[in-house]
Structure 1
Amino acid sequence: MGDGSLGRIAALVRQDCRLLVRDPAPLIIRTVMPLLIMSFMQPLFRAALRADDVRDANGAEQSVPGMAVMFLFFLVNVVGFAVFREHGWNTWDRLRVSPARPFELVTGRLVVPLVVALVQLTVFFGAGGTLFGLRVRGSYLALAVVGVPLAACVVMVGMALVALCRSIAQLSVIANLLALLFAGLGGALTPQSVLPDWVRPLAPGVPSYWAMRGFSTVILDGGGVGAVLLPAGVLCAFTAGFTVLTLVFFRTGHRKLSWS
């Protein structure tokens, strides 16, 4: 990748940063809302974990990673908006005829959401320890080993939906449904050990299951990096799969509808 390519990607990243700084309210709401829900859910999760023989659990062991995983997938909309707004502003055609190649257009739109996802995970777990008494028995490095591919998976889900959806309305509905579906099947809303019998065979088919499995291994079981290599590897595989979907279906010439 040459200096010109990096410069074009950097220009797109700077534009996204300026737009984010200009209107940070959506990001603030997406960060504060999970923290509020954690406080409401913690007593419920405390009872569920203690019933599952985690006798010293205070509930944060499930509420913090659960809400972090659930709300991280709502960032899928942010990735979509970054592309669809260009069509709404009628600036996408200008980008197409610019020297920027499709790879650069896609990469430039992924950087800021990826950074936002990583920052949000850091805030959620930091606040979990400070506000909710989250005790991490394992390695914080292991949390990062799970968190980084999870964040990458989220942004690639968003780009895959950009490639597949014709309108922002389609993307928004599908993204929100996926976030809720992933939360339910993956064990973000309830400990994986108490998932309904019919859900358990389906759970490994969603990335949130592996994220929660990895986080639980570190938080509850005291696992280190070696213990989370499988969940992290599966999350990388999901990321690769969504990347392939993007490469197959994304076309710069496809016209997108911003508001209808």
Structure 2
Amino acid sequence: MARHTAILLARDPGTVLAYTVMAMVLLTVLRPVYERLGTFGGPPIDQEAPGTAVMFTLLALDVAGQSLLSERTWHTWDRLRAGSVGPLTVLAGKAIPLTALFALQQAALFAFADAVYGFDLAAGSWRLALVVAAWSVCVTGLGLAVGAWVRSQGQLSAAADIGALAVTCLSGSLVPLPILPHWVAQVAPWTPGYWALRGFQAAVEGDAATFGRTLAVLIGISALAFMVAAAGVRPRRSPARERSR
């Protein structure tokens, strides 16, 4: 399953590649804006680069959802759910290459920010890599959860795009929370993007307490998302079989 999914992703990398390039363009265009807004406790790039990474990883969430929705389009969904493997095995096979893809997307953006705008990758070291991994797993789980329950491309696009935009705005990833309405700061901790953003910043700034807390929250959200996805791919008994019971 993992090999099959990796081959499909490699054959059609356009969406994630486009989002990566778009992230670099937005990072460049918004650079003067963040410089004028001020530091908010650190260099502006420490807010801009992680926020842009969170935003465009979320926008690529539909790639994960599509990996499950395609099974219905290709009429292989029932066979997949009726197989001998469990739902968690199916999801693991889908999740491994997707997680690697999202991690590469973030790595490319952070490398660009480091080379061009001075984002301190060296300061983040292994902590930044851990947050990248945790956030990649989280986005993969969220995408698979959506893909397991929607029934059409239109539903997937609506859920993924609206959800990604809402989380991006409410988490403070696009615009820093200090300049947003007060109520947004109250809502922000309920979004996964908020914790990813704080995790990236804590990794670079060396804030061990915040770093550990954000990792725990992201792992918890990931576990919940995969449980929702597993419920969506679990085989269901046919009505005739239920009556026989």
- What TM-score do the two structures reach when normalised by structure 2? 0.88
Q: 1:93 to 1:227 in 2, by over 3 A?
A: closer
Number of the residue aligned with 1:91: 76
For residue 162 of structure 1, report the CA deviation from its aligned partner. 2.1
Q: 1:164 to 1:88 in 2, by over 3 A?
A: closer
CA distance in structure 2 between the partners assigned to 1:13 and 1:136 by the alignment: 30
SS in 1 for 2:226: helix
Q: Of the candidates 97, 103, 122, which is equivalent to residue 118 of structure 1?
A: 103
The count of aligned residue pairs is: 237
1:244 aligns with 2:227: yes
Number of the residue aligned with 2:9: 20
Instruction: Deviation per CA, 1:112-143: give whole Å up to 9, x if none.
Output: 11110111111111111012222358432121
Is the helix fraction higher in 1 or 2?
A: 2
CA distance in structure 1 between the partners assigned to 2:226 and 2:81 by the alignment: 21
Listed as ranges, the matches of 1:226-245 within 5 Å are 226-245=209-228
Number of the residue aligned with 2:241: none
CA distance in structure 1 between the partners assigned to 2:227 and 2:81 by the alignment: 21
Letter in 2 for 1:35: M
Please, which moves more after superposition, 61-70 or 160-169? 160-169
Q: Of the candidates 118, 131, 137, which is equivalent to residue 152 of structure 1?
A: 137
Number of the residue aligned with 1:7: none
Letter in 1 for 2:58: F
CA-atom RMSD in angstroms: 2.1
Q: 1:171 to 1:252 in 2, by over 3 A?
A: farther
1:33 aligns with 2:16: no
Listed as ranges, the matches of 1:32-181 within 5 Å are 32-50=21-39, 52=40, 54=42, 57=43, 59-136=44-121, 138-181=123-166
Q: 1:232 to 1:18 in 2, by over 3 A?
A: same
Among the aligned pairs, what percent are the same residue? 30
Instruction: Deviation per CA, 1:177-208: give whole Å up to 9, x if none.
Output: 11111111111112233332011111100011
Q: 1:99 to 1:164 in 2, by over 3 A?
A: closer
Letter in 2 for 1:115: A
Number of the residue aligned with 2:194: 209
- What TM-score do the two structures reach when normalised by structure 1? 0.83
Number of the residue aligned with 1:257: none
Q: 1:97 to 1:218 in 2, by over 3 A?
A: closer
In structure 1, stretches of 5+ residues that fail to align are 1-11, 255-260
CA distance in structure 1 between the partners assigned to 2:185 and 2:213 by the alignment: 18
SS in 1 for 2:206: coil
Give yes or no for contact 1:96–1:252 (8 Å, CA) kept in 2: yes
Give yes or no for contact 2:87–2:230 (8 Å, CA) kept in 1: no
Letter in 1 for 2:101: V
Give yes or no for contact 2:68–2:147 (8 Å, CA) kept in 1: yes
Give yes or no for contact 1:34–1:71 (8 Å, CA) kept in 2: yes
Q: Which runs of 4+ in 1 moved over 6 A?
A: none
Letter in 1 for 2:120: R
Letter in 1 for 2:9: L
